[in-house]
Amino acid sequence: MNKNALNDNSTWNSEHISQRLTFARSADGILLIRCAGNWQIRLGLPSIETVQYQIDSHPRIQRLVLDMRDLKQWDSGLVSFLLKVIRLCKRQKIRVQTTGMPEGIHRLLKLALAADQKEYTNSKSPEETMLSRIGTGTINFFGSAADILAFVGEASLAFLKFITGRARFRRSDLILLVQETGVDALPIVSLISLLVGLILAFVGAIQLKMFGAQIYVANLVGISMVRVMGAVMTGIIVAGRTGAAFAAQLGTMQVNEEIDALSTLGISPMEFLVMPRMVALVLMMPLLCLYADLVGILGGMIVAVGMLDLNILEYYNQTKLAVSLNDFWIGLVHGVVFGVLVALSGCLRGIQCGRSAQAVGYATTSAVVTGIVSIIVATAIITVICNELGI
């Protein structure tokens, strides 16, 4: 549309809403909007419903022309009005053409519309097929597996440096981590282990009492706690308590760019942050498992003495006969493996954390889930290996 066509009033059906906003329509489906005078918020601005009414009243409109050659003073109110007009035309599938638009308004509209386009692009496409979702999930899975393997390799190298005395870390941090992962976890481990021992003994007592074999409650509780249950329950507790704490600590450091600062100073985050946490859990988990075994056996003894009329000495002797040294070592192996898995899970999710508070929450949740799942999988693998070895 040229300037002469805009000024040719014979071809337009004009309508004056106000001195600042004028509408004109042509027979070929063009709606002309003239913006003139001062467009400022303090003076009041026309409503977008006015434009909506003009479009709805003439459904054959295919193009809208914004003429701003007579515009004088303006502020953000005009930009907001024009943005609403453009969005309305986009919904109605009407092309928009501008004439005489100031450069400042053009730049502001371009930024606002670019944000709309970005929001639309980032939204999930409803036309995504199942095959594409499967492919995206497969790619993400293998990418995540590669990241996990790389992290495990770096953690293993850092642990080897610790063994050879070449790792760079603060020993005071290691001592503090030993206290946090070991001594501070005793109350919750005591409570859960005692309850697990009570439950195992109570469930076993109901069945064994039917056959007059109450004494074998000691076998049930002793073998299950020492061999598997003590380590599994302790691992789950530590995953929810310590693994989540590791992920939150490292995730917060990632948000504050402290990990980047360590790398800039030439200090390996694996040696300075991950390795002490891994060593602390590897040292403390077997001890916590032993403690959980003793407390669980104590819980079973409470049920045996209180419900089955067994005395403490009988329960103790039967437990000593039932639990072998192999069961003891298998429980310790479980504890060491769980300690490594929980430490790696917490530190991995913390290192992978994004740069926001929400990302820290996701990392903490992911660390707990990853730790518990890895514990269950490791338990199944160790059980199969022990069965194949006949121990």
Distances from the Cα of 195 to the Cα of 182, 199, 304, angstroms: 20, 6, 14
Task: For residue 58, name the pLDDT band (cuts at 50, 70, 90).
Answer: confident
Report CA-CA distances (Å) from 217 to 298, 328, 331.
12, 18, 19
User: Can you give the pLDDT at residue 335?
Assistant: 92
- Residue 373: the pLDDT is 92
Higher-confidence position of 5 and 153: 153
Under the banding of pLDDT at 50, 70 and 90, the label for residue 125 is very low
Tell me what pLDDT residue 343 has: 92
Q: Is the dihedral of CA 231, 234, 239, 240 positive or negative?
A: positive
Using left for φ > 0, alpha for ψ between -120 and 50, and beta otherwise, residue 360 falls in alpha
pLDDT digits (tens, 9 = 90+) for 97-107: 877 778 888 78
At residue 297's C-alpha, the angle toward residues 295 and 298, to 5°, is 60
Tokens for 313, please give them. 């000495």
Contacts 24+ apart (CB under 8 A), 156-165: 157/270, 158/268, 158/270, 158/271, 158/274, 158/275, 159/275, 159/278, 159/279, 161/271, 161/275, 162/271, 162/275, 162/279
pLDDT reading at 255 higher than 50: yes
150-201 pLDDT, tens digit per residue, is 888 888 888 888 888 888 888 888 899 999 888 899 999 999 999 999 999 8
- Partners of 95 in the beta sheet? 63
DSSP for 257-314 reads THHHHHHHTT--HIIIIIHHHHHHHHHHHHHHHHHHHHHHHHHHHHHHHHHS---HHH
pLDDT at position 7 is 47
**Position 288 confidence tier, pLDDT thresholds 50, 70, 90:** very high
Q: Which CATH class is domain 3-121?
A: alpha beta
E strand residue ranges, 84-137: 95-99
- Residues 344-350 have a mean pLDDT of 90
Q: Residue 57: pLDDT above 80?
A: no
Domain boundaries, the chain: 3-121, 168-389
Question: Which has more pLDDT, 218 or 57?
Answer: 218
Amino acid identity of residue 125, one-letter, is S
Q: pLDDT at residue 355 above 50? A: yes
